[in-house]
Amino acid sequence: MTESPDGSARVPSRDRRRFPGISSRSYEHPADRSALVALRKLSGFDTVFKTLSGLLPERSLRLLFLSDSVRVSDQQFSHLNDMLRDACYILDLEKVPPMYVNQDPQPNAMCIGLDEPIIVVTTGLVELLDEEEMRAVVGHEVGHALSGHAVYRTILLFLTNLAMKVAWIPLGNVAIMAIVTALREWFRKSELSADRAGLLVGQDLQASMRGLMKLAGGNHLHEMNVDAFLKQADEYESGGDLRDSVLKILNLLPRSHPFTTVRAAELKKWAASRDYQRIMDGHYPRRDEDKDASVSDSFRDSAAHYAESVRTSKDPLMGLVRDIAGGAGDLGGKLRDTVFGGGSRGGQGGANGTDRTNGSEA
């Protein structure tokens, strides 16, 4: 149980369910776990990880925030301090991580650190979000801490900066960028897990949705609508042709976070799931069971998730994958239709006797 400085028990500021002994496996996205496994299998990652763990200036990082940011406490940003302790109480994180507010107009938050996690939020984020929206963000970062994500996030920050410094050396950053790309792929998936942790802490889906919407469009709620925002995610996934699918991948590669509309849609889907309801009813994996957790079960869960994603996805590329897996008879024609966003029909329109039309999207 989290305690205040005077030794009295701290409880959430309003009635919220608490999850004693909850394991991070309860809310971790299957793609998060599978991406992390793939990352660890990446050639050279273990060597880099072990080397950087001893070289990264973590003490210097902590001193930097201590000297040039505001540490959250009962005397400074006390409302954030209450949220932090509430979040740790709800997710049963025994040691409350230190939190700092850093002067930066860009809305952002992160959980970093090798030995012990620290949470940093920017002034831009504090000024953008209301109390319940901010509570979800604090819960998001506490979820990162509980899942042990801070270590990999710290290494990603360091390697990203290193890659920029050695970019002028021919082939000097090729190996580094391979690891950075893999780390980014994992981190994007880990954000989906942390969004779920934020919902478990805030227990207010609309606040989580509003917060993500504000990250995309700023503090203009009177000009925005959650349902319309979620429709953007559907349009993003299903719109266009195979060329757009490739462009989506290229747009995503340099990012550390998934696109906000996609995050909102993923979180809403999880909130409506049986898995979420079971957690809210008190049925979830416990931390003391982690040592007995089956790795093969995790792989099966991840494989089932990807299979379901391919089966239900409206993305043209995933549609093509389904057709290939299903043994589509006219694969050449299907590929042509997917690339150009339409079908072909007999007629007099073209030199080859076909007239390309704008058919339905794959």
Catalytic residues: 141
Q: Give the C-alpha separation, 149 to 245, whole Å.
A: 29
Q: Give the C-alpha separation, 152 to 49, whole Å.
A: 9
Q: Which residues of 25-57 are buried (b: 16+ CB within 10 A; e: fewer)?
A: bbbbbbbbbbbbeebeebeebeeebeebeeebe
Q: Which residues of 327-347 are buried (b: 16+ CB within 10 A; e: fewer)?
A: eeeeeeebbebbbbbbbbeee
Answer yes or no: are the C-beta atoms of 173 and 163 closer than 8 Å. Answer: yes
Task: Give me the torsion for CA of 41, 47, 50, 51, rounded to 10°.
Answer: -150
Q: Which residues pair with 101 in a beta bridge?
A: 70, 121
Answer yes or no: are the C-beta atoms of 342 and 356 closer than 8 Å. Answer: yes
Side-chain-side CA neighbours of 44 within 13 Å: the count stands at: 9
Task: Annotate 185-251 with three-state secondary structure.
Answer: HHHHHHHHHHHHHHHHHHCCHHHHHHHHHHHHHCCCHHHCCHHHHHHHHHHHHHCCCHHHHHHHHHH
Q: Give the C-alpha separation, 32 to 182, whole Å.
A: 12
- Token pair for 349: 């329109």
Pairing assessment for the beta strands 344-346 and 70-71 based on DSSP bridges: unpaired
Q: Give the C-alpha separation, 287 to 292, whole Å.
A: 10
Answer yes or no: are the C-beta atoms of 23 and 183 closer than 8 Å. Answer: no
Looking at residue 17, what DSSP letter applies?
A: -
